[in-house]
């Protein structure tokens, strides 16, 4: 029977187990550059078969939160080199999640206070749709996302190229590959969703081919730059995050993508189930149909525990299981899962921002409160 703890060959990259650390923004990069503390955090978690980093913006335009480490400048690449070195010293593998937030940004984060870009001019307006940016006094905090402007047709190629450059930078920084962030209501989803995308050009909402064109152009540009075996993509079908409305074309859209991505022989597709975030869960039925259309490595994330992850593996629905929050408080998560040791509960207040507290100070099991209580 397939186990979470056996090795896995991911397009020629040998993972030491089937546990993936899901991408998690931690907002601790003061100057937008990964530093020694970032390296320490990922080093502690290198027991994962694969780490996917926090989202790293491909450009200033793609940034929606302050204190996030980017991947477009030489200094940022040097910062990430420390991270990849640390993880590789521990025998781990690490992909960078490359990210453009689209409309989930704020004028204070954009060049010359400009508008963020999107597929359309529709702003995100539910109560969770905030950017972490600066107010008029320059103080950082949560602010309503600004009204975006639609990317002109002749600008799309520039954004596609920014993704390809970021991927090349990631390889230059020593990453084993990149995960294109196509989930969670950000720019790629703003093109995929026909209720947000009101364009009439070839990236428009008229047909599934047009709506998925931007995503596939990004995939193809990134593959052309660094090779398919180093490229993954994250998608969140049925997701509602950041004011993404539900629409009747979700299944058609994502099954079309599944088939198109299968032809491209990527390292993986990573599905994020937002069932815990007041969205419909990805059903086993849909997962099975996605799997039929997409023959490559499939990762699932969202409220997994050891039992559910092993069930999905056993039933052949997924190849790798991603864990997010459990990795925050359990740097040695794989060892704890393997030995059925108690897990520590992460502290939500320190998820984003601050320093070492709630970041690099969670102990391994031997030194933990859970061990003392056992």
Among residues 227 and 353, whose Cβ is nearest to ligand FMN?
353
Instruction: Candidates 15, 22, 98, 255: give the one binding ligand FMN (CB under 6 A).
Output: 22
The verdict on 234 binding ligand FMN (CB under 6 A) reads yes
The verdict on 181 binding ligand FMN (CB under 6 A) reads yes
The verdict on 354 binding ligand FMN (CB under 6 A) reads no
Which among 123-131, 153-161, 197-205, 324-332 is the span making contact with ligand FMN, rule CB under 6 A?
A: 324-332
**238, 282 contact by CB (below 8 A):** yes
**167, 154 contact by CB (below 8 A):** no
Shortest Å, Cβ 372 to ligand FMN: 25
Neighbour tally for 311: CB within 10 Å: 14
Among residues 150 and 324, whose Cβ is nearest to ligand FMN?
324
Among residues 186 and 365, whose Cβ is nearest to ligand FMN?
186
Among residues 293 and 303, whose Cβ is nearest to ligand FMN?
303
Binding residues for ligand FMN restricted to 36-55, rule: CB under 6 A:
54-55
Shortest Å, Cβ 89 to ligand FMN: 24
Shortest Å, Cβ 11 to ligand FMN: 21
Six-digit token string for 204 = 């428009």
Catalytic pick from 42, 132, 186, 359? 186
Give the binding-site size for ligand FMN (rule: CB under 6 A). Answer: 22
Based on the residue annotation, tell me whether 186 is a catalytic residue of this protein.
yes
The verdict on 310 binding ligand FMN (CB under 6 A) reads no
DSSP for residue 368: S
Instruction: Candidates 302, 310, 337, 359: give the one binding ligand FMN (CB under 6 A).
Output: 302
| Residue 77 phi, psi (nearest 5) | -65, -45
Instruction: Candidates 142, 289, 325, 354: give the one binding ligand FMN (CB under 6 A).
Output: 325
The verdict on 323 binding ligand FMN (CB under 6 A) reads yes
Which among 18-26, 36-44, 138-146, 149-157 is the span making contact with ligand FMN, rule CB under 6 A?
A: 18-26
Which among 170-178, 191-199, 207-215, 323-331 is the span making contact with ligand FMN, rule CB under 6 A?
A: 323-331
Six-digit token string for 285 = 């039925």
Binding residues for ligand FMN restricted to 106-165, rule: CB under 6 A:
none
Shortest Å, Cβ 39 to ligand FMN: 18
Nearest partner of 231 among 260, 262, 265, 266, judged by Cα:
266
Got the DSSP string for 193-227? -TTT----STTSTTSHHHHHHHHHHHHHHHHHHH-
Neighbouring residues of 23: CB distance < 8 A, sequence distance ≥ 6? 52, 53, 54, 55, 97, 179, 181, 234, 324
**318, 296 contact by CB (below 8 A):** no
**23, 55 contact by CB (below 8 A):** yes
Q: Which residue is nearest to ligand FMN (CB)?
A: 324
- Residue 261 CA, distance from chain mean position: 17
Neighbouring residues of 326: CB distance < 8 A, sequence distance ≥ 6? 305, 333, 343, 346
Nearest partner of 214 among 274, 150, 167, 272, judged by Cα:
150
Among residues 171 and 188, whose Cβ is nearest to ligand FMN?
188
What's the rounded Cα separation, in Å, for the pair 271 and 251?
Answer: 13
Q: Enumerate binding residues for ligand FMN (CB under 6 A).
A: 22-25, 54-55, 97, 181, 183-184, 234, 272, 276, 301-304, 323-326, 351
Active-site annotation, residues: 186
């Amino acid at each position: 029977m397939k186990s979470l703890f056996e090795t896995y060959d991911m397009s020629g990259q040998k993972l030491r187990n089937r546990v993936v650390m899901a991408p998690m923004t931690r907002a601790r990069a003061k100057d937008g550059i990964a530093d020694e503390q970032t390296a320490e955090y990922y080093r502690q978690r290198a027991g994962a078969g694969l780490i996917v980093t926090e989202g790293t913006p491909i450009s200033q335009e793609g940034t929606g939160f302050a204190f996030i480490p980017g991947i477009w400048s030489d200094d940022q690449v040097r910062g990430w080199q420390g991270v990849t070195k640390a993880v590789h010293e521990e025998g781990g593998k690490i992909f960078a999640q490359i990210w453009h937030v689209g409309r989930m940004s704020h004028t204070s984060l954009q060049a010359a206070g400009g508008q963020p870009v999107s597929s359309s001019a529709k702003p995100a307006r539910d109560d969770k749709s905030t950017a972490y940016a600066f107010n008029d006094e320059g103080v950082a905090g949560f602010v309503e996302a600004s009204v975006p402007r639609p990317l002109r047709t002749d600008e799309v190629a520039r954004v596609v190229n920014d993704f390809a450059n970021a991927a090349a930078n990631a390889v230059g920084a020593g990453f084993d590959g990149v995960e294109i962030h196509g989930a969670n209501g950000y720019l790629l989803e703003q093109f995929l969703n026909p209720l947000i995308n009101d364009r009439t050009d070839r990236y428009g909402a008229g047909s599934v081919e047009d709506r998925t064109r931007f995503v596939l152009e990004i995939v193809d540009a990134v593959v052309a730059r660094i090779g398919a075996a180093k490229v993954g993509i994250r998608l969140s079908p049925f997701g509602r995050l950041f004011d993404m409305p539900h629409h009747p074309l979700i299944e058609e859209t994502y099954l079309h993508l599944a088939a198109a991505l299968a032809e491209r022989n990527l390292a993986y597709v990573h599905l994020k189930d937002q069932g815990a975030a007041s969205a419909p869960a990805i059903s086993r039925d849909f997962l099975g149909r996605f799997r039929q259309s997409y023959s490559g490595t499939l990762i699932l994330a969202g409220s997994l525990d050891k039992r559910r992850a092993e069930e999905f593996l056993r039933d052949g629905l997924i190849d790798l299981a991603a864990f997010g929050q459990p990795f925050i408080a359990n740097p040695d998560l794989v060892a704890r899962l393997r030995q059925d040791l108690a897990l520590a509960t992460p502290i939500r207040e320190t998820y984003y921002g601050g320093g070492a507290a709630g970041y690099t100070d969670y102990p391994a099991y031997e030194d933990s409160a859970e061990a003392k209580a056992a």
